[in-house]
Chains A and B, each alone.
Chain A
Amino acid sequence: SQTIHQWPATLVQPVGSPLSLECTVEGTSNPNLYWYRQAAGRGLQLLFYSVGIGQISSEVPQNLSASRPQDRQFILSSKKLLLSDSGFYLCAWSEDRDRNEKLFFGSGTQLSVL
């Protein structure tokens, strides 16, 4: 069966520090991968998605970046965090078939930038 791992679960970082969040999927190959962010009490904002190794689509211009160095690994990074980067970050995956595949979410990372 397929599983998705996301870590860390909680992170507290000072403004201006770097960030690296990692997500891995097991039990499937060539998945579509996604990073969403959720501000406190708000909706799910799509940040990046990837349909293959090295293929990253950015949805919102900001100081975050994403990379997919391996088929089932998706990394969210920042060189310098801002206060506005605080939020609940969710990694998700879907089968690479068509637009109608459901998303499976990781357990999320609660990031607080102070």
Chain B
Amino acid sequence: GAGVSQSPRYKVAKRGQDVALRCDPISGHVSLFWYQQALGQGPEFLTYFQNEAQLDKSGLPSDRFFAERPEGSVSTLKIQRTQQEDSAVYLCASSLSGTSGSGGEQFFGPGTRLTVL
């Protein structure tokens, strides 16, 4: 079956532009996560959805970052007024489990590489 897909795969933005990154999770997966991976580092958690509810947004670095999952399936991560420090790979993951603390396996998409000039 299809895995997690993300689009676009690459995005170049000028500083100050707004960008929107899309994630299509595996069908039927309850949980959806966004991570940010800076060059040469491990991924860092941004936000988590259980169905359409955003249960944890503690990792969002500023109020310029906004995520939504209005119908409990596709999710969009939006970054307003992009800055150079936003340059990173943005990874989306989905998990069948919705139970907090269950540690259900997360399946990752290929990521979107964002470069802010």
User: Are chains A and B native binding partners rather than an unrelated pairing?
Assistant: no
